[in-house]
A and B are shown apart, each in its own frame.
Chain A
């Protein structure tokens, strides 16, 4: 019997991906096309970011993709001076959380934005990007 081909698109996400297979692997294609997307349950209307394949409210798997657009408020951030295994080359880098109202998004600040220009509450956008090692990601830029 031929070996079944695995959908491991998610392995392309972030400097080091720890997940290969996921039922929301289309997230990767959207990111590749320049869109940061979450899922919305067509039954309950509940919005999910990070995207999910299942809604715990309606128990449905009937999800549609929506694009995270506009700007979000910077909830908090931290610049790492040490990194876990696999991320040393990226140092220093700043992780952050943005609040878009309907959903929050965790990620990294664009390395071009100096930490001194960051302040909790400022408006930022999430922009699809590539990591230094050529993987897919998104970064937060000043709105």
Chain B
């Protein structure tokens, strides 16, 4: 069996409110990925459409989007694992290609979140948790992650300032990403300034600056067999390792709240499949929906020992010049988090990095990249390892 590669990447700008419909938003990322891969619709054998349902009125979006992209009559499938839908779609595309069923599969993730209020969106997102036993208490995503932050602080002495450092790094790189929604620099002082929204409590101990923002956006990846990849691309990026895991939805089913078991398990699988360890990773994209999530990702992926995530960013080791650059595209915190589009955007960044096309965000000559994409509060976890020739 040959390798499976990614030969085209595209992303819309992530924005607060996209002036158009879901299919039109999808087209923006699609056009860019197709131009990148130099493909036409007849070169695509199948599509996997990824989003979280209920943010817009369209039911079963796969069919509508496939038609709008000009990809009828090829088969289309719909993938959903909340915020990790995009990387789940990528894994399905890999399986479709690796099995020989299809040669070139297009993965398109999207979300329009601006059509509902922030409270409504919190309620919908909260219903991605346990609606029978937890939602009746009034839960929401920031509060679940806040419980993880509280547990991390109690066990390891992590401080609010450690968390704020993640935002400061994110904001530094968000400035260079022309697809990012938030492109302003940030400082630790802003977390102390009562006038600044960064300092306002959301769900203790998390503050405004610790949370990513809803966004509208789309992303697109073209996954191909080795033969097709080589015929279309001079710089295919190969999928070397894939891991995926699930965990109990209710916090009552978790062993601890200081990390995400799915990330650790998916990471281990991906490292094993790629035959490498974390020390070989040159650049990583992790799911920083909240600042604490990035700290936990460092530890769950083996970039730092448990409890030593804060020291890793404290020493700037996850900056572009550091030992393991993480989220040098601004991450979810700066790009915004259009649920279904996020995973694809992370893959796009790593592909551009490995091709040496990341512009001002480029780390020097990376050979191995990693993507960590989490659905819900560690309900689903996907980790992928990519490499160039």
Enumerate chain A interface residues (CB-CB to B < 8 A). 10, 13-19, 22, 49-50, 75-88, 90, 93, 95-97, 103-108, 115, 119-121, 135, 137
Contacts and interface: CB of A to CB of B under 8 A. Distances in A.
Given A17-B136, A85-B119, 20 more contacts: A10-B132, A14-B135, A14-B138, A15-B136, A16-B138, A18-B127, A22-B132, A75-B147, A76-B257, A81-B200, A95-B138, A95-B139, A97-B147, A104-B252, A104-B253, A106-B133, A106-B137, A108-B137, A108-B138, A120-B150
Contacts of A87: 138
A-B pairs with lowest CB-CB distance, top 3: A14-B136, A87-B138, A120-B154
B250 A86 contact: no
A106 B134 contact: yes
Nearest to A99: B252
A76 B148 contact: yes
A105 to B, nearest CB: 6
B247 interface: no
Which of B117, B127, B131, B140: most chain A Cβ within 10 A?
B140
Contacts of B138: 14-16, 80, 83-84, 86-87, 90, 93, 95, 108
Which of A78, A80, A85: most chain B Cβ within 10 A?
A78
Interface stretch (B9-17, B58-66, B201-209): B201-209
Interface of B: 117, 119-120, 122-123, 126-127, 130-140, 142-144, 146-151, 154-155, 200-206, 250-254, 256-257
A79 B303 CA distance: 31
A84 B126 contact: yes
Contact of B204 (A10, A79, A108): A79
A85 B120 contact: yes
B132 A106 contact: no
Contacts of A107: 137
A24 to B, nearest CB: 9
Contact of B252 (A15, A83, A97): A97
B203 A80 contact: yes
Given A22-B132, A108-B137, A82 B151 contact: no
B143 A80 contact: yes
A50 B252 contact: yes
Contact of A50 (B119, B132, B135, B143): B132
Nearest to A51: B133
A22 B151 CA distance: 32
A6 B79 CA distance: 33
B366 to A, nearest CB: 36
B377 to A, nearest CB: 12
Contacts of B133: 50, 106
Given A13-B136, A19-B132, A76 B143 contact: no
A105 B144 CA distance: 14
16 contacts: A14-B135, A15-B136, A18-B127, A19-B131, A22-B132, A50-B132, A75-B256, A75-B257, A76-B150, A78-B146, A78-B203, A80-B138, A83-B138, A95-B137, A107-B137, A120-B151
A49 B253 CA distance: 9
A77 B123 contact: no
B156 to A, nearest CB: 11
Nearest to B132: A19
B10 to A, nearest CB: 33
A82 B122 contact: yes
A22 B202 CA distance: 33
Contacts of A85: 117, 119-120, 122-123
A68 B200 CA distance: 37
A82 B144 CA distance: 13
B51 to A, nearest CB: 20
B132 A78 contact: no
B135 A121 contact: no
A137 B117 CA distance: 28
Nearest to B121: A84
Contact of B119 (A81, A83, A106): A83
Contacts of A79: 201, 203-204
A18 B251 contact: no
A84 B129 CA distance: 13
Contact of B203 (A81, A96, A120, A135): A81
